[in-house]
Amino acid sequence: MLKNLDAMDAELKELAIALYEIDAFKFGDFVTKVGLKTPIYFDLRVLISHPKIMVRLAKILWTFAEECPDITQICGVPYTALPLATLISADSNVPMLIKRKEAKAYGTKKLIEGNFKQGDHCVIIEDVVTSGSSILETAFILRKEGLKVTDTFVVIDREQNGKKNIEHHGIRMRSLYTTTRLMAYLLEANKITPKIVKNVTDYLLKFQAPIISVQDKRLKTPFHIRSTKTKNAIASKLFNLMETKQSTICLAADLTKANDIIEIADLIGPHIVLFKTHIDILEDFSYDFIKRLKDLAKKHEFLLMEDRKFADIGNTVSLQYEKGIYKISEWADIVTVHAVAGPNIIDGLKNSLKNINEPRGLFILAEMSSKGALTVNEYAQSAVSIAQSSDMVTGIVCQSNIFSNLGLIQLTPGVKLSKTSDNLGQQYNIPESVVNSGADLAVVGRGITEAQDKLAATLQYKKELWTAYLKRISN
């Protein structure tokens, strides 16, 4: 930087005190975005109520640009860094981009707003870095659009692996403050006590954010490698089945007669890896039907998934899973679960498996394929967080590439050979499109069950989905 170091230090100290006095720093017991407990919390959202301090902070943050003379675009991480990025853009006359938290469901469906061209050098502006996940997610989207991302300017580095994560992905991180430096400024100004400093210092030594990867790595990693990265036995089995059978089809057998289900399971069983039922729509359910279906699953090597979509409190789902006329826990390898009830729903399901000796798994619903579904934005990310915390989770039901965990399977419904919709809000996408959007397993229903030649249709879906997968991991 061109500024005299002593003058810069004095300015940073003065600004640190100003931030403390507007409650941008809080001390107590908090939890960070990545789930780490912390005795210090940074809340720079309060800046919008203190424009003079925000302007000062934006100006001093932009002095990092003196070391990066070829910047042509600025992108602030939503939402706290957006006001800072806006001020910097207006003051420096460098164009600004906005990364949406989700793609628009209409119009151009863009994730990046603003005018840019391939090869533009974009710097990312961020307020606080813990694991670096927000910066990496932003860089991932920008790079997919052809932008060059090599630098990020950050207000506060929490010193919890974030810088290491970010630089591991080829991005230089420059920060105005580290937590340690902030503590020193505030202690010198008698704003905090030595005890607080010790608590924070001890915390930093003990707790580090996990090493993370961006989503693209999941899409490029073959199934046989990912089978070794999962915590769930059913997920490992599915990965290996997909590799062995060269199939990524989950058949949605939404039929109402037992014999119809048995007939199609026997016909196309050799070419699928997962057979999905809605057992409560069956008009002639019997335990003999379950026995016949299980025998076919064993014969043709596919797994059974009851698309129950559990969504109640732990005690209720425990009873729904184990009891009643269907006794789902006894025969379904996998069930589907809504995240709306929170993580305790998984505990409720686990409670029903005390007398089950075979492995079981579940798919958490993060996004749905129906038009106008409310499973978007923060809800979807919360569902992902729940999924990543349990060894009972096989994967995530979603429409897009919203997670990076190699050991989880993305199951995407709404697949047809042509992009269409029905009159009840179901939206369909073609095989290559869903695979490129992250799908490991694709749910195919009426495209097969209503086909005149069901076996031929199955083979066509199988070929197109597997070809798209091979293309995805090789590009």
The annotation places the binding site for substrate at: 254, 276, 369, 426, 445-446
Structure tokens at 18: 């100003």
Q: Which is the catalytic residue, given 120, 157, 307, 333?
A: 307
Tell me the C-alpha distance between 86 and 81, whole Å. 9
Q: What share of the chain is helix, strand, coil (3-state, %, to 5)?
A: 45, 20, 35
Q: Is 247 in contact with 277 (CB distance < 8 Å)?
A: no
Contacts of 100 (CB under 8 A, 6+ apart): 78, 110, 111, 112, 113
Q: Which is the catalytic residue, given 309, 327, 350, 454?
A: 309
Tell me the C-alpha distance between 252 and 279, whole Å. 12
Q: Is 240 in contact with 302 (CB distance < 8 Å)?
A: no
Q: Residue 394 to residues 168, 346, 421, 445: CA-CA distances in angstroms?
A: 28, 12, 28, 21
Q: Is 243 in contact with 198 (CB distance < 8 Å)?
A: no
> Closest by alpha carbon to 226, among 473, 467, 474, 475?
473
Tell me the C-alpha distance between 459 and 231, whole Å. 31
Cα dihedral 236, 241, 244, 245, rounded to 10, equals -160
Cα dihedral 274, 275, 278, 283, rounded to 10, equals -170
Q: Is 352 in contact with 329 (CB distance < 8 Å)?
A: yes
Contacts of 184 (CB under 8 A, 6+ apart): none
Tell me the C-alpha distance between 382 and 387, whole Å. 9
Tell me the binding residues. Answer: 254, 276, 369, 426, 445-446
Per the annotation, the verdict on 309 as an active-site residue is: yes
Find the length of the chain: 475
Residue ranges of E strands in 13-136 = 25-31, 37-42, 73-76, 96-99, 112-113, 121-129
Per the annotation, the verdict on 295 as an active-site residue is: no
Tell me the C-alpha distance between 416 and 398, whole Å. 16
Tell me the C-alpha distance between 406 and 408, whole Å. 6
Count of beta carbons in the 10 Å neighbourhood of residue 266? 15
Per the annotation, the verdict on 307 as an active-site residue is: yes
407 half-sphere exposure, CB direction, 13 A CA radius: 16
**Residue type (1 letter), 372:** G
Query: At which residue do the structure tokens 């950050």 appear?
Result: 154
Q: Is 401 in contact with 213 (CB distance < 8 Å)?
A: no
Q: Which is the catalytic residue, given 43, 216, 266, 312?
A: 312
- Active site residue ranges: 307, 309, 312
